[in-house]
């Protein structure tokens, strides 16, 4: 292979076990594997995580079907929106579905009657993210709609925090938690008790035990990455430090090595010229593979355990790097794009900073056609 992604099985298990220890045995641990398991490979990750988590969280019906059709028997919650004409797949396959729209509930109710199948619903309530979710004022109306259909079951109640990762001031998140608790209280006054209440993402699960409720949804941190610098600082300020271990290493190979004289321009647009007589290596990856064009002239890769700078623009299928200072080098030598080689490491956080983004985007955008290999 010209490029591939390695998934460290032991590190993934370590991270899941870390969260299991954190939340205890009574709280349900959901492994969130949406978006191709944050770029890590949905089937590869699920095959490992199924022994260490209780539920799986996906974005779409297609991701849910992919898991089920490949032998995953754990409960699956579809966190994202499902089109009305795909809701029959939800009912027939026994998936749990996040709901908030009246139209979705009615369609699921009709299908549940028609197919005589029970359907589990998770209401997502709006507490301050202004994204998916039904407002408190509309929630009871939606629940009354559910009650009209005998095969619909309200299994879960959830919300999502808007500002728990990007700050060390968690006042807004705590206000959302208060709203969620108030909604639970009001439902209780109406005689409505929903069995699985869940609000915690990775950051919330680490920082605030009161957000755990009945289930936590572990996403970015099961892959060994912190939600943000602020989360890391907040989490590791106390005595019980949490260690996360990166799961992904992204690699390629050297396709060509050649010498060029000082002053020679490199790659499209002649945006960079070498300032010395140089040895360069051509690597067969580019923005098609998910190596962001924003890394032009600023990115680094690891060759022979040393950092080598990207020269000029990132191309669709190739980049050029400066290997002048690497003495022992040959065609098809292994190169690390993301991860460790020797004592050096390139992190998703580093790449994210260079392109003005975050670690989530860096790993999620790695082309899903690239082979993921469990090591």
What is the set of active-site residues? 34, 268
Going by C-alpha positions, the residue among 232, 249, 252 that lies closest to residue 345 is 249
Residue whose tokens read 């028609």: 114
Report the sign of the C-alpha dihedral through residues 135, 136, 138, 141, in that order. Answer: positive
Cross-strand bridge partners of residue 303: 306, 335
Residue 182's CB: how many other CB atoms inside 10 A? 12
Residue whose tokens read 């190979």: 253
List phi, psi (to 5°) of 32.
Answer: -85, 115
Residue 167's CB: how many other CB atoms inside 10 A? 14
Please answer whether residues 324 and 266 qualify as being in contact, where contact means their C-beta atoms are separated by less than 8 angstroms.
no
Residues 6+ apart with CB under 8 A from 371: 1, 4, 5
Report the sign of the C-alpha dihedral through residues 305, 310, 314, 316, in that order. Answer: negative
Q: Is 137 exposed, middle or buried (0-12, 13-18, 19+ CB in 10 A)?
A: exposed
Beta strands in 146-221 (DSSP E): 152-158, 196-200, 215-218
Q: Read off the DSSP letter of residue 125.
A: B
Please answer whether residues 230 and 168 qualify as being in contact, where contact means their C-beta atoms are separated by less than 8 angstroms.
yes
Q: DSSP string of 9-72?
A: HHHHHHHHHHHHHHH-SSSEEEEE-HHHHHTT-HHHHHHHHTTT-SEEEESSHHHHHHHHHTT-
Please answer whether residues 112 and 153 qualify as being in contact, where contact means their C-beta atoms are separated by less than 8 angstroms.
no
SS3 content of the chain, % helix, strand, coil (to 5): 35, 25, 40
């Amino acid at each position: 292979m010209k490029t591939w992604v390695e998934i460290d099985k032991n590190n993934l298990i370590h991270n899941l076990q870390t969260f299991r220890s954190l939340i205890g045995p009574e709280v349900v641990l959901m492994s969130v594997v949406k978006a191709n398991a944050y770029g890590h490979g949905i089937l590869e990750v699920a095959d490992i995580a199924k022994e260490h988590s209780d539920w799986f969280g996906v974005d779409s019906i297609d991701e849910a079907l992919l898991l089920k059709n490949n032998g995953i028997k754990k409960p699956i919650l579809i966190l994202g929106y499902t089109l009305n004409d795909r809701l029959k797949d939800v009912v027939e396959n026994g998936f749990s579905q996040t709901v908030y729209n009246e139209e979705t509930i009615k369609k699921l109710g009709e299908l549940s009657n028609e197919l005589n199948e029970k359907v589990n619903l998770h209401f997502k309530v709006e507490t301050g993210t202004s994204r998916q979710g039904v407002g408190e004022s509309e929630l009871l109306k939606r629940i009354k709609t559910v009650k009209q259909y005998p095969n619909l079951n309200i299994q879960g109640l959830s919300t999502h925090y808007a500002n728990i990762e990007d700050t060390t001031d968690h006042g807004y998140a705590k206000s959302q938690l208060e709203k969620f608790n108030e909604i639970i209280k009001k439902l209780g006054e109406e005689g409505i008790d929903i069995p699985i209440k869940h609000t915690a993402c990775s950051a919330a699960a680490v920082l605030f035990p009161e957000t755990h409720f009945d289930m936590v949804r572990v996403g970015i941190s099961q892959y060994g990455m912190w939600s943000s610098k602020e989360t890391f600082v907040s989490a590791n300020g106390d005595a019980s430090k949490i260690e996360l271990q990166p799961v992904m290493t992204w690699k390629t190979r050297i396709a060509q090595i050649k010498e060029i004289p000082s002053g020679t321009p490199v790659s499209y647009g002649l945006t960079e010229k070498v300032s010395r007589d140089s040895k360069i290596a051509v690597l067969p990856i580019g923005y098609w593979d998910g190596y962001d064009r924003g890394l032009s002239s600023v990115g680094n890769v690891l060759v022979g355990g040393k950092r080598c700078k990207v020269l000029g623009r990132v191309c669709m299928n190739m980049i050029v790097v400066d290997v002048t200072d690497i003495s022992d080098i040959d065609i098809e030598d292994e190169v690390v794009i993301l991860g460790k080689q020797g004592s050096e490491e390139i992190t998703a956080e580093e790449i994210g900073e260079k392109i003005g983004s975050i670690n989530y985007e860096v790993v999620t955008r790695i082309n899903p056609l690239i082979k993921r290999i469990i090591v």
